[in-house]
Amino acid sequence: MPIFLYWGEDDFTLNRAVMALRDRTLDPDWVSFNYDKIFPEQPDAITQALNQAMTPPFGSGSRLVWLVETTLCQRCSEETLAELERTLPNLPDNVVLLLTSSTKPDGRLKSTKLLQRLAEIREFAAISPWKTDQLVQRARQAAQEVGVKLTPGAIQLLAEAIGNDTRQLFTELEKLRLYAGSSKQPLTEETVSMLVTTSTQSSLQLAAAIRQGETAKALSLVADLLNRNEPALRIVMTLVGQFRTRLWVKLMVEAGERDERAIAQAAEVNNPKQIYFLQKEIGTTPLARLQQALPILLELEAGLKRSAEETAILQTKTIELCQLFQK
């Protein structure tokens, strides 16, 4: 009675996992008989899914019942819970029940606790933009999945260019795979720079320009990002992550901490070796400026969420931040 619960906001990776489960569960010749995809707007979707899950498959292979965007782990009536408790432990061995949701399961609910006992639960969360080591690791894994050979520098550049947009990551890797053709040589940074559409890379360049107080360059990067339809809130997320990491490193160093692992843990940097370079980067930057930068970024984020005009507020706060680091 295999039961799976997939949840998370990274819908692209989640759906790839769903398709992989579908391919290994179903016999291609019997898909139309043994595959049920049930949407939440369908009447009695949960009851329908459980009834189908109790039905043995036709022909060879197994049956897959997919309950899409279910709310079972956010709200569940006593009647539905009783139905789950009666049905889930008795599913046929050759039936797979898959539940997916973009929302985190509420661990307090009895339905969630039931699934925790009976189901395999997988989270598909988007990586935070400031967790650069995890983004690099994800880019490396994705390149292996797609079958693209990249130099370490090319992987680093790809991760910086794409950020946490998994869909774009695989799109760009497919482009690179076609470009590489039958060549066995790893693609270099130059090739990635030439072929990959950058977004986060420019946001990272924007963060660097702000830290250096280069107002004209920073405003040019803002204009470039907006012209390429980069979401303003995504730009802010990257900036917050960059300044937050550097603030933690500066705080730990000024507190007398010398252990790179301890600093990395506090700053949420997975690779302690990166701390050395961060320390050099902010060596002469006063702690107070990093502390003052975050409230300005939070004001920017709040303004965007209150529907402020994107270009105007981004330009205003960028100038304010650059002036801060010119002092």
DSSP states of 250-301 as a string? HHHHHTT---HHHHHHHHT-S-THHHHHHHHHTTTS-HHHHHHHHHHHHHHH
Q: What is the mean pLDDT of residues 137-157?
A: 91
Which tens digits make up the pLDDT trace of 153-204? 899 888 888 878 888 899 999 999 999 888 888 999 888 888 886 655 577 7
Q: Output the pLDDT for position 200.
A: 56
Mean pLDDT of the chain: 89
Answering whether pTM is above 0.85, one says no
Q: What is the mean pLDDT of residues 106-114?
A: 94
Does residue 1 carry a pLDDT above 70?
no
Tokens encoding 4: 């799976």
**Residue ranges of domains in the chain, CATH in brackets:** 3-123 (3.40.50.300), 132-195 (1.10.8.60), 200-326 (1.20.272.10)
With beta carbons less than 8 A apart as the criterion, state whether 221 and 202 touch: yes
Rg (CA), the chain: 24
Q: Output the pLDDT for position 130.
A: 66
Most confident range (mean pLDDT) of 23-27, 154-158, 252-256, 278-282 is: 23-27
Q: Output the pLDDT for position 199.
A: 56
Compute the distance between CA of residue 121 and CA of residue 105 in angstroms, rounded to an integer.
10
With beta carbons less than 8 A apart as the criterion, state whether 170 and 12 touch: yes
Which tens digits make up the pLDDT trace of 220-272? 889 888 887 888 898 898 899 889 999 999 999 888 888 888 888 888 876 77
Q: Give the count of beta carbons closer than 10 Å to the beta carbon of residue 239.
A: 26
230 contact partners, CB below 8 Å, separation of at least 6 = 199, 202, 203
Beta strand residue intervals within the chain, DSSP E: 3-7, 35-38, 63-67, 95-101, 120-123
Looking at per-residue pLDDT, the higher value among 23 and 269 belongs to 23
Cβ burial of 7 (10 Å; 0-12, 13-18, 19+) is buried
